[in-house]
Amino acid sequence: MQEREVALEIRDFFKEPFTADGLSRLMGSSPLAELLSTRAKSYKEHRWDKKLPTKKEAVASIIADPTLLRRPILVANGKIVIGFSQSAYETLFPERR
C-alpha cells in the first residue's frame, strides 16, 4: 500500500472490538465462508467445517472470539476484501502514473 501512496486507517479489533451492529454492517452480504477463519481453534470446536452458522450466530461468536474473523480486512471505495489478496488490492488501488 505504501508504494501506491494509499492512506490507511488501521484498526486492531482485538483492542477495539466490533459491536454487533458494526460487525453486521461490515459483513454485509459477503458469504460467511469467506469471512470466517478456518484456522481459528473455535471454528473447529463449533464444527463449522460441517455446517456454517447463521449470520446472527457468527456475529455473536466473532464478538466473543475475534480470531474467528479472517484477516486482514480492507475496506475501500465501497468494496471489502477479506484476507490477503495482492490481485484484489491492485484492483482497488491501481498504480499511479
pLDDT band at 80 (very low <50, low <70, confident <90, very high): confident
Residue 57 belongs to some domain of the structure: yes
CATH of the domain at 70: 3.40.30.10
Q: What is the pLDDT of residue 4?
A: 59
pLDDT above 70: residue 84: yes
- Judge contact between 59 and 27, C-beta under 8 A: yes
Residue 8 belongs to some domain of the structure: yes
Residue 97 belongs to some domain of the structure: no
Show the domain range for 46: 2-92
Residue 66 belongs to some domain of the structure: yes
Instruction: Report the number of distinct structural domains present in the chain.
Output: 1
pTM reported for the whole predicted model: 0.79
